[in-house]
Amino acid sequence: MKIRSVVALTLVTLALLGLSSMAASADTRPLAPLPDAEMPDAAKVEIGKWMFFEKRLSGDGDRACADCHLPEQGWASSDALSIGYPGTLHYRNAKTVMNVRFAKYFYWDGRLDGGNDLATQARDSMTDSHFMAADGRIMGQRMKQIPGYVEMFKAAYGGEPHFGLIIKALGDFEKTLVSKNVPFDNYLKGDTSALSAQAKQGLDLFQGKANCIQCHDGFMLSDGEPHALGVAVNPDIFEVKRYTTLRSQQMFLGTPNYRNLKSDPGFFATEKNNKYFGSFVTPSLREVSKTAPYMHNGMLPTLEAVVDFYNEGGGQATNKDPVIAPLGLSAGEKAALVAFLESLSGDDLGYRSADFTEDKRPPYQLLQWVGQDN
Amino acid sequence: MISRVGGVLAIAALALFLGAPALAGTAKQVIQDGKKFFEIDGELFPALEALGPPPIPKDNPQSVDANGWPLTDDPKVKLGYFLFFEPALSGDGSVSCQTCHVQGAGWALNSAISRSYPGQSHWRNSQSVVNAAYMSKLFWDGHTASLETQAPSAAKGLAGNGKQDMMTARLTVVPEYVEMFTAAFGSANNPVHDAWRALSAFERTLTSTDSPIDQYLRGDEDALDEAQLRGMDLFNGKARCIMCHNGKLASDEKFYNLGLPRQPLFSNIAKNQIGFRSQNYGAGLPEEMFRKTKSDLGLYHRTHNHEDAGLFRTQPLRFIEYTPPYYHNGVMDDLYEVVEFYNQGGGEDYVQKDFGYSTKTDRLKELNLTEDEIDDLVVFLEGFSGPEVLMEIPILPKPPARISVN
């Protein structure tokens, strides 16, 4: 797997022509800008936005999607391990929901098919005991008692809110969370000044000496496949409230020996074959500069730490992906790789959690009954 | 209180003066096959009886003494005692059975409509779990048949919002619970399923069978005073209570619509409306009905038969002194209100108001009870309650801060 210094220079043309990969291996797909995607109806997106920030969509009324996927933190969370539903904590890092409409599988362990079905994913998030622990029927009634929302639902869907519409609206909102004005994409589209020289060098390394393209390929910079890298176990997963979530979820997934897990089994829970133990689906690298800390368990605090990790040949694991090997990068090369990773983030979409605090959300109100007076 | 005593004395004096036997009784007693009944409107109703030990199901055995009373040192009961106070058996780990079945409030809740888990409200009054062990139909609408099947709906649904896997995980990280489950059930492999069984075994020790009325029915003639005996006679006759509150349980475990007043909370408070409406929605009420329903439809939720709308299980009456407010929607605060209500022949049927047909029972009639009679009936009802059932609050075993696996 040799470095190809010409890659960066010819990439633009090749990408535009849709030619096959110039990357190290024949079965990787070329890096490419995000495709244009159809945006859902604006009225539906507007509802979905309010739903995304709506704490009353959780059992206790105390968790919104946006509590764990914060717009200020790259729509992920700066906690290494995520919070959970009140009374619980999570054992994984919260993934970003940016560009999630393009994901092949959802979650670090890929346990749910992606393919644009964001409503199904939202149903999971709302009902799982460690996320929002919501009863869909009750959530429908709660939204019906918020006239401000009822009007919006009527305008967008011609009917009152119910669980099915709530999750659809959430999905529609997420579909609009697509990176905008990304330097790397602009570069690929022909604006050669969009990347610094250092970032261009990083791009070369990414596709060459550092061999990242093996797994981080295509326009999402992800092959959507599981790999074990040997990221160290985060000792905090043994905190009782995190470990109970791990145990509870792995029990639900039918993972063998779920009561005695010493580490996160990852994709093994999805495909119960030992070779997958501790492997995770390659995450997209889009917006990655905004979503520190990194990896499924937030063990690597910065992009520099991630690059160091790869440079040293990853961590310890018997089933470590053979592609992961010491890279021998110089300090300058490491910095270049980081500069490239930083070019994968677009503009701030402008949402702020402060715009959706309780005083700004429409309140519950009494409903008039049919035959109110008898 | 003072006026009541006055009334009692006056009547006693009158009875003496007339030379009539003070306890003759007007209720029409019938003995058939050696069993005692009271006859009202030509129908026979089983007389009240003292309460013996609760039935114990074959598939969830527990140890009992020579007379069949459940023993509290059974490992299952001990475990159930801890679990009854254990908030791990809920969604957010903040709600235990004891949260809504408070021992200082008769193992019920002193609130018209029960609380729910945080962020949500319930829609019915919390029932006492004391003597629940005797019931073959649990809940106000009788929708479960055993404590073993009742417990999961208490921990998981509108009450606790607990999820099976999370509750399992929470129990299995506590070494003391693993030991207790192993002692009670041989293993801790299925702790949530076994938790319901342990809770049920514990609830079978929460009995109140020593009320003055029980003592009287067991032969202690001094257990009830004269006013109470007059009240009993009314209960069995003129006041017609025995038609439904009869036999051992003081409940026929059948369902009636009494025409109770509406619970205004469902029209006045948005959060209560949400609790109420989500239950109606969850029960699959047809759209038209859903929109018109302003009061709990009770048994209809279970059967979807129109003639069951607004029907509720006859409540057993033991221990009621400790469990106000009364009825499924907690609309009455004390036993005087209750008796006044029956005295008027019950109330206006809200099913009639909402849907244009009535399901109200025809057993309720204007009773024409005098004020003295009302007093007598109330003191008799008070005789259904023995001493409070109180116990030490357990110090719950806690999981270690960090889990170590080997």
Which amino acid would we find at residue B71?
Answer: L
A105-140 pLDDT, tens per residue? Answer: 999 999 999 877 899 999 999 999 999 999 999 999
Q: Is residue B83 part of a domain?
A: yes
Question: In chain B, how many domains are there?
Answer: 1
Q: Is residue B189 part of a domain?
A: yes
Beta bridge mates, A294: A300
A263-317 pLDDT, tens per residue? Answer: 999 999 999 999 999 999 999 999 999 999 999 999 999 999 999 999 999 999 9
Report pLDDT for A42.
Answer: 97
CATH number at residue B143: 1.10.760.10
Q: HSE-up of B129 (CA within 13 Å, CB side)?
A: 26
The answer to whether the complex's ipTM is over 0.90 is: no
Q: Does B193 touch chain A (CB under 8 A)?
A: no
Report pLDDT for B86.
Answer: 98
Q: Which residue of B has its CA nearest to A371?
A: B292
Q: How does the average pLDDT of chain A come out, rounded?
A: 92
Distance from CA of B268 to the nearest CA of A (A): 7
What does the alpha-carbon distance between residue A317 and residue A232 come to, in Å, rounded to a whole number?
9
Domain span at residue B122? 75-203
Report pLDDT for A18.
Answer: 35
A24 pLDDT exceeds 60? Answer: no
Superfamily of domain A3-34+179-342 in CATH is Cytochrome c-like domain (1.10.760.10)
Q: Is residue B382 part of a domain?
A: no
Contacts of B166 in chain A (CB under 8 A): 88, 129-130, 244-245, 248
Q: Give φ, ψ of B307 to 5 degrees.
A: -70, -10
Beta bridge mates, B35: B32
Report pLDDT for A116.
Answer: 74
CA angle B328, B332, B338 (to 5 degrees): 100
Q: Does B67 touch chain A (CB under 8 A)?
A: no
Residue A371 confidence class, pLDDT cut points 50, 70, 90: low
Report pLDDT for B6.
Answer: 35
Query: Would you call A59 and B400 a contact, using CB atoms and an 8 Å cutoff?
Result: no
CA angle B183, B98, B320 (to 5 degrees): 115
Q: Is residue B125 part of a domain?
A: yes
Report domain extents, chain A: 3-34+179-342, 42-178
pTM reported for the whole predicted model: 0.92
A205-242 pLDDT, tens per residue? Answer: 999 999 999 999 999 999 999 999 999 999 999 999 99
Report pLDDT for A373.
Answer: 64
Decide: B247 and B51 in contact? Cβ < 8 Å: no
Q: How many CB pairs under 8 A join A and B?
A: 133
Chain B, residues 328-357, CB within 8 A of chain A, namely 353-354
Query: Would you call B92 and A85 a contact, using CB atoms and an 8 Å cutoff?
Result: yes
Which CATH class, in words, describes the domain spanning A42-178? mainly alpha
Distance (Å) of CA B50 to CA B64, B231, B400: 19, 17, 47
| pLDDT tens across the length of chain B (406 residues) | 333 333 333 344 333 333 333 455 789 999 999 999 999 999 999 999 999 999 999 999 999 999 999 999 999 999 999 999 999 999 999 999 999 999 999 999 999 999 999 999 999 999 999 999 999 999 999 989 899 998 888 888 899 999 999 999 999 999 999 999 999 999 999 999 999 999 999 999 999 999 999 999 999 999 999 999 999 999 999 999 999 999 999 999 999 999 999 999 998 899 999 999 999 998 899 888 888 888 999 999 999 999 999 999 999 999 999 999 999 999 999 999 999 999 999 999 999 999 999 999 999 999 999 999 999 999 999 999 999 999 999 999 999 999 998 7
